[in-house]
Amino acid sequence: MEKIIINDVEIELTKKNIKNLYLSVHPPNGEVKISAPKWMDEDAIRLFAISKLSWIKRHQKKFKDQQKFPEKEYISGEKHHFLGQCYLLNVVYTNKRNQGVEIRNKEYIDLFVRENAPKHIRERIMTEWYRSELKKLISPLIEKWELIMGVKVNEFGVKRMKTRWGTCNPTAKRVWINLELVKMNPKCLEYVLVHEMVHLLERGHNKRFIAYMDEFIPNWRTVKEELNSSGL
């Protein structure tokens, strides 16, 4: 593993037995990594990095801005997102066994918990509600796009992911979706799901993959930019 510096941007360089260059910027501090073919010389890699500087700095700024958001405390008055809308959290104390979450008046998220419930319990209830709501959205979308694309998803799941909005295992025909998508505009979820399902037709991100994306979601580039520039 090597390091190169371009305009004060430090880049971690790894050479592998691959055909193409891969550039990535990672949270939380915007670390930059490039994977390059073993045969490629450093001058060519540096030229590639220079051509991507504006993209790198834009994504580094995004991660820096995200750090400004305080950690959620799950208390009344806090702002929480659901399907692209911002709601005020309202913590309601209840002695009932069933604790949970409800949307009220398109303005509030009511969180029903026992009195003195600690933060980790309030967070767990919110997370379980988010997960359940996201799964309700994913199932009909998969059915819709299976018919359109002529593919079959054997299994899907929801989990928190730090660097990806979704993943697909083409062999197992299994798709994973990032839990954070439940907070964003539903079109972002559909874009990510279609992206992962296209991998059942084409494993790589090559011209054939892009052609499928252009066919199924012609405005996918705009949705991708909205997704990746979100403050969430």
Domains and CATH numbers, the chain: 2-66 (no CATH), 79-130 (no CATH), 133-228 (3.30.2010.10)
| pLDDT in 10s for each residue of the chain, 232 residues | 788 888 889 999 998 898 888 999 887 778 999 999 999 988 999 999 999 999 998 888 877 766 556 789 999 999 999 999 999 999 999 887 778 999 999 899 999 999 889 999 999 999 999 999 999 999 999 999 999 999 999 999 999 998 889 999 999 999 999 999 999 999 999 999 999 999 999 999 999 999 999 999 999 999 998 887 765 5
Rounded to the nearest angstrom, the gap between the alpha carbon of residue 38 and the centroid of all alpha carbons in its chain is 30
Output DSSP code: residue 30: T
How far apart CA 163 and CA 25 sit, in angstroms, is 9
pLDDT in the model for residue 197: 98
Q: What is the CA radius of gyration of the chain?
A: 21
- The strand pairing partners of 169, in sequence order, are 174
Q: pTM of the predicted model, to two decimals?
A: 0.73
Give pLDDT, residue 2. 86
According to DSSP, the residues that pair with 3 across neighbouring strands are: 12
Q: How far apart are CA 94 and CA 87, in angstroms?
A: 21
Give residue 193's Cα distance to chain centre.
11
From the number of C-beta atoms within 10 Å of its C-beta (0-12, 13-18, 19+), residue 209 rates as middle
Residue 192: predicted pLDDT: 97
How far is Cα 160 from Cα 210, in angstroms, rounded to an integer?
A: 26
**Per-residue pLDDT, 63:** 75
**Joined tokens for residue 41:** 């010389």
